[in-house]
Amino acid sequence: MTGLPFARRTHGVGPSMPRPEHGGLISFEDGYAYPGGLPDLGDIAATAARAFRPETLQYAPRVGLPELREWIASYLRAEGTQVTGESVLIVNGAKQGIDLACKLFLDPGDAVVVTRPNYHSALNIFRGWDVELVEVGLDDEGLDVAELETRLHARAKGGQRTPKLLYVVPEFHNPTGVTTSRRRREAILHLAERYGILIVEDDPYRRIRFEGAAVPPLQVLDPTRVIGLGTFSKLLAPGLRIGWVAAAPDVVRRMAALKADGGSCPLTQRMILEYCRAGRFEPHVRQMTETYARHRDAMTTALRAEVPEAIFATPSGGYYLWLRLPEVVDSDRLLDDAKRLGVDFLPGSRFYATPGPKNVLRLAYSYASPDDITEGVRRLGEALRASA
């Protein structure tokens, strides 16, 4: 079968590869949950499988359990959106939402706006759809709207297709940690309206805010132009594989028709619902936010002490810290040295659609404990000096 000429479109298996027993390895690689913070869902799982058996072991509505759709809608309304349950599609993690948006809206050769750098798994999904990636830089206020405007104008003049989608992580951007300012959000929406571009707002880290005030989601500012994505992976447990799409009911219906998996798992949907209804969700999110704030603090403190040559903005939330090292450093090569010394990370090259700077890398502080973070950063500093 290997020899068949027409198989195509594979770009690496991405971030959810098997995680071996670390042994000595301290991992800053992926946005895994802190294992010490994973809740005990044993009772909830038993209830879902037993008391809700005819629902949770049977085929479920392809759009998702009605009660969970309603719960998510009310959760989103607390942020200021106007969505109802009909606007919510349950998916197997927000990534499936990106994929369904591609399947519904894109044809091969279409263009999609991404940030530079951009969440690497989203880049891989877009690549799987044979689309052109239009990279636009970002600064400490978010996506560079002036650059986007220049690019859109030039494309229109040059007869190139106007992008159909703009993908953005406005809150604690992956990988840079940047939160898009309100002013910038409004400018993005204004430009998107002018050019008829749909926005995919991927917002998994919104609630993992350590300090500062929340900025309204783009979907609140313009409910008609934005497809919102959220997930319980970063709030409760990645293994439940439940996220959501929030969009116009018509878009939700059409995405559901393309959701070729017979609907997301009703058992884990019910588990989440019972967990939320038992009043356990909000305290858990608060506790995890405090946990991740301590992780962030451990990392920034260690970086200042052990890697003083690194430049970074301290993230106010989310899972990641973006490190800029001296220009001579090649983070792909640094990774080899780092692994030998027992620490890993994702080199910056993973986050660019076209080759970018070599001296950047992403550290995830979510997974390792504060003590391991301190030791891991020390090893990173050692690797840096070893490779210098």
Question: For residues 187-226, which are near its own copies according to CB under 8 A?
Answer: 196, 198, 224-225
Cα 92 vs. chain centroid, distance in angstroms? 13
- 13 belongs to the binding site for its own copies (CB under 8 A): yes
Q: x/- binding map, residues 271-300, to its own copies, per CB under 8 A?
A: x-----------------------------
- Cβ neighbours of residue 102 closer than 8 Å, sequence gap 6 or more: 125, 126, 128, 129, 131, 165
| Binds its own copies by CB under 8 A, chosen from 23, 24, 35, 158 | 35
Considering only the stretches 25-33, 300-308, 321-329, 345-353, report the one whose residues sit in contact with its own copies under the rule CB under 8 A.
25-33
Least spacing, CB of residue 259 vs its own copies, in Å: 9
The torsion region of residue 30 among left (phi > 0), alpha (psi -120 to 50) and beta comes to beta
| Binds its own copies by CB under 8 A, chosen from 262, 279, 283, 355 | 262
Nearest-10 Cα torsion for 191, 125, 182, 222: 60
| Binds its own copies by CB under 8 A, chosen from 139, 193, 250, 282 | 250
Least spacing, CB of residue 203 vs its own copies, in Å: 16
The residue among 89 and 325 lying less far from its own copies, judged by its C-beta, is 89
The residue among 14 and 357 lying less far from its own copies, judged by its C-beta, is 14
Question: Where does residue 350 rank: exposed (0-12), middle (13-18), buried (19+ CB within 10 A)?
Answer: buried
Of how many residues is the chain composed?
A: 388
- Binding residues for its own copies, rule CB under 8 A, total 93
* Alpha helix segments (H runs only) across 242-369: 249-258, 266-277, 281-306, 331-340
**Amino acid at residue number 282:** E
* Interacting residues with its own copies between 100 and 129 (CB under 8 A): 103-105, 107-108, 121, 124-125, 128
| Binds its own copies by CB under 8 A, chosen from 2, 78, 157, 279 | 2
- 360 belongs to the binding site for its own copies (CB under 8 A): no
DSSP 84-122: -GGGEEEESSHHHHHHHHHHHH--TT-EEEEEES--HHH
Q: x/- binding map, residues 38-57, to its own copies, per CB under 8 A?
A: xxxxxxxxxxxxx--xxxxx
| Binds its own copies by CB under 8 A, chosen from 233, 316, 359, 366 | 233
Least spacing, CB of residue 110 vs its own copies, in Å: 8
CA distances from 193 to 9, 132, 138, 225 (A): 31, 20, 20, 8
Cα separation, 258 vs 260, in Å, equals 6
DSSP 21-76: --TT-EE-SS-PPPGGG----HHHHHHHHHTTHHHHSS---TT--HHHHHHHHHHH
Least spacing, CB of residue 320 vs its own copies, in Å: 15
* Spatial contact of 306 and 381, defined as CB atoms under 8 Å apart: yes
The residue among 42 and 212 lying less far from its own copies, judged by its C-beta, is 42
Q: Which of 69-75's residues contact partners 24+ apart within 8 Å by CB, and which partners? A: 69/244, 71/273, 71/276, 71/277, 72/230, 72/244, 72/246, 73/246
* Spatial contact of 97 and 232, defined as CB atoms under 8 Å apart: no
* Interacting residues with its own copies between 162 and 181 (CB under 8 A): 164
Considering only the stretches 34-42, 76-84, 167-175, 179-187, report the one whose residues sit in contact with its own copies under the rule CB under 8 A.
34-42
| Binds its own copies by CB under 8 A, chosen from 26, 27, 76, 93 | 93
- 328 belongs to the binding site for its own copies (CB under 8 A): no
Considering only the stretches 36-44, 313-321, 334-342, 344-352, report the one whose residues sit in contact with its own copies under the rule CB under 8 A.
36-44
Least spacing, CB of residue 34 vs its own copies, in Å: 10
The residue among 22 and 183 lying less far from its own copies, judged by its C-beta, is 22
Least spacing, CB of residue 297 vs its own copies, in Å: 23
Least spacing, CB of residue 276 vs its own copies, in Å: 16
Cα separation, 344 vs 365, in Å, equals 11
